Amino acid sequence: MINQNLMLFNSFDFLFFFPIAVFVFYFLKHQYRWMWLLFCSYFFYMYLEPMLLLLLWTSTIIDYFCGLKMEKHSDLKIRKRYLYLSILTNLGLLFFFKYFVFFTQNAVEVLAFFGIHMDAVAGEHSDYVKILLPIGISFYTFQTMSYSIDVYRREIPAERHLGKYALFVSFFPQLVAGPIERTKRLLPQFSKEVHFDADRVKKGLIMMAWGFFLKLVVADRLGVYVDDLHYNAADYRGLPLLIGSYFFLFQIYYDFSGYCSIAIGAAQIMGYNLMQNFNRPFFLNSMGDFWRKWHISLMKWFRDYLYIPLVRKFKFSKVSAMMVVFFFTGLWHGASWTFVVWGVLCGVLFIADIKTVPTRRNILSALGLSYKMKIIKVLNGAMLFTLIGIVTIFFRSPNIGQAGIYLNNMFSTSSSTVNVYHDQLELLLSLFLIVVVQIIHFYKGNDRVYELVWNRRRWVRWVIYLLFIIVMVLFSVNRQNNFIYFQF
């Protein structure tokens, strides 16, 4: 379970916290700024649950210590020992707080299957089911592990400044849901002096505003439709469920990329650059293309620290290494079979897409068509998008059974009710917003949205700002929903 008292980016608490954080940051001398940011980051995290700070500190101190030791020793065996200590600590925290209940429950069920009943120990009333899932644990443990592995590989020097290292682990804009930053990119930025730059601040503010728009106006609106379908999947048939699967893909994209825009914008205001996590993922021509553009920081992490070692060091075939990566991608998202199935199915789609390319090419050329034709590209993209939408039903469903009901009903004769909102205007608005945002992302990418305003006349900029505020106020959905990726 997740404590709900966290400081959401879309909460009033954050609206007070963030300006104070920025204001004080720029009034402090460079040498004190890391302390202020560290204080803000810990405050941001403590706001949720003070005790969770202990986990963050554990991960920080052990990795800091291991980093220094790995740098000091040239003996590979000793360095490896510290690497294992770092990895085991991080994976241990992750396992205990995120996966312990899942594995224990499954173990109990497997034992029960063989006639060994352990209900008294692991029943629903025992305390282990009440372990609080520390928010952001999947993100910061992966970030600190990447530091340890990079130091072990001698790709980066160990950080000697404990405070700055602690800030790297806990930097509040990206602490709870990424992007999962690399040491090389982020850590050195904390040592560079930042000067106030009005243009950079404006760009950061525009990125944040765009992120809020994606979350509050688009993602939360689509969420109303998707939630209704998933709560009442048994009541619907056919088309509405298919639309729901598309809507959920858009919802999760706008929700997470909205969060990332806010995080990137917030960091930018303070003079720090975070990596882009999305790059127009729905303009895709293959599954590989999609995964290169979707949750980039996580997929790069798995590529560098799992896929490449599996293939190069452990001699896995590319296909089996890819399946391992997708299995863990699914598991990383949550301790549930739905995420595992989702990950595995994504892997199957990925491999099937690669393996069937020659056959599909042959079929197309036999029909006098080619992948280079625009219409084929569009149809191919639509097909891939539909397939991703279908497997992502597992991601959204509370359990495999519900996902089964959803899928089974989706392939039945369509029900008369297509519009789950029961409101024509809301459905049209949702479709309109999806199209508009996709067009903006197509022309400006995920990272240059500020160009819509940039270099325009002052009065035009002000008209855009004021209209944007009115649109935000009128069309935001007042649900105060968590960002979806906060739960991971």
Partner 1 sequence: MKGILWKILILALFLIGCYYFFMGVLARGFVNDNYSKFTHQSSSLIIGLSRAHNGISPKILDSILVEIPYQGGFLNFAFEKTQSPYGGVYLEAIKKKIPQQTKQGIFILSVCPGSFMRPIQLTSAQEIDNLDKKSLVGKINQLNKNPNYEYIRKGYGGSLYRGLIPHNAQITTVFHDEGWEEFRLSAEGYQVSKEDVAHWTSQTIGGYRRMMKTNPEVVSTYRIERFKTLISYLKQHGQVFVVRMPLDPLVLGMENQWWKEFNTEMTLISASFDVPYFDFSDAREYKTYDGSHLSSPYAKEFSVRLANEIKRYYRNPMM
Secondary structure of the chain in the HEC alphabet?
CCCCCCCCCCCHHHHHHHHHHHHHHHHCCHHHHHHHHHHHHHHHHHCCCCCHHHHHHHHHHHHHHHHHHHHHCCCHHHHHHHHHHHHHHHHHHHHHHHHHHHHHHHHHHHHHHCCCCCHHHHCCCCHHHHCCCCCCHHHHHHHHHHHHHHHHCCCCCCCCCHHHHHHHHHCHHHHCCCCCCCHHHHHHHHCCCCCCCHHHHHHHHHHHHHHHHHHHHHHHHHHHHHHHHHHCHHHCCCHHHHHHHHHHHHHHHHHHHHHHHHHHHHHHHCCCCCCCCCCCCCCCCCHHHHHHHCCHHHHHHHHHHHHHHHHHCCCCCHHHHHHHHHHHHHHHHCCCHHHHHHHHHHHHHHHHHHHCHHHHHHHHHHCCCCCCCHHHHHHHHHHHHHHHHHHHHHHHCCCHHHHHHHHHHHCCCCCCCCCCCCCHHHHHHHHHHHHHHHHHHHHHCCCCHHHHCCCCCHHHHHHHHHHHHHHHHHHCCCCCCCCHHHHC
Work out how close the CB of 3 gets to partner 1 at its nearest, in angstroms, rounded to a whole number: 9
* C-beta closer to partner 1: residue 227 or 289: 227
* C-beta closer to partner 1: residue 100 or 475: 475
* C-beta closer to partner 1: residue 239 or 429: 429
**Is 201 one of the binding residues for partner 1 (CB under 8 A)?**
yes
**Is 465 one of the binding residues for partner 1 (CB under 8 A)?**
yes
Name the one range near partner 1 by CB under 8 A: 50-58, 339-347, 375-383, 467-475: 467-475
Among candidate residues 230, 295, 333, 441, the one labeled active-site is: 333
CA–chain centroid gap for 290, Å, is 14
CB of 14 closer than 8 Å to CB of 44: no
For partner 1, which residue of 120, 198, 367, 375 counts as binding (CB under 8 A)? 198
**Is 74 one of the binding residues for partner 1 (CB under 8 A)?**
no
Contacts (CB under 8 A) with partner 1, residues 365-424: 398-399, 401, 422
For partner 1, which residue of 221, 237, 295, 333 counts as binding (CB under 8 A)? 221
For partner 1, which residue of 16, 84, 196, 454 counts as binding (CB under 8 A)? 196
Name the one range near partner 1 by CB under 8 A: 64-72, 195-203, 250-258, 433-441: 195-203
- Residue 333 annotated as catalytic: yes
**Is 51 one of the binding residues for partner 1 (CB under 8 A)?**
no
* C-beta closer to partner 1: residue 74 or 413: 413
For partner 1, which residue of 2, 26, 354, 482 counts as binding (CB under 8 A)? 26
For partner 1, which residue of 130, 192, 374, 457 counts as binding (CB under 8 A)? 130
Name the one range near partner 1 by CB under 8 A: 35-43, 136-144, 194-202, 437-445: 194-202
* C-beta closer to partner 1: residue 75 or 124: 124
Residue in the structure block whose two tokens are 């682990």: 169
Work out how close the CB of 340 gets to partner 1 at its nearest, in angstroms, rounded to a whole number: 18
Name the one range near partner 1 by CB under 8 A: 102-110, 147-155, 199-207, 314-322: 199-207
Work out how close the CB of 467 gets to partner 1 at its nearest, in angstroms, rounded to a whole number: 11
**Is 203 one of the binding residues for partner 1 (CB under 8 A)?**
no
For partner 1, which residue of 28, 163, 235, 463 counts as binding (CB under 8 A)? 235
For partner 1, which residue of 47, 96, 99, 475 counts as binding (CB under 8 A)? 475
Work out how close the CB of 153 gets to partner 1 at its nearest, in angstroms, rounded to a whole number: 42
Give the separation between CA 335 and CA 342, rounded to whole angstroms.
12
For partner 1, which residue of 121, 418, 439, 466 counts as binding (CB under 8 A)? 466
The count of chain residues that interact with partner 1, using the rule CB under 8 A, is 32
* C-beta closer to partner 1: residue 328 or 465: 465
For partner 1, which residue of 77, 125, 192, 315 counts as binding (CB under 8 A)? 125
Instruction: Provide the residue count of the chain.
Output: 488
**Is 313 one of the binding residues for partner 1 (CB under 8 A)?**
no
**Is 192 one of the binding residues for partner 1 (CB under 8 A)?**
no
Give the separation between CA 441 and CA 432, rounded to whole angstroms.
14
Give the separation between CA 333 and CA 310, rounded to whole angstroms.
21
Catalytic residues: 333
Binding interface with partner 1 (CB under 8 A): 4, 26, 124-125, 129-130, 196, 198, 201-202, 205, 221, 234-235, 398-399, 401, 422, 425, 465-466, 469-470, 472-480
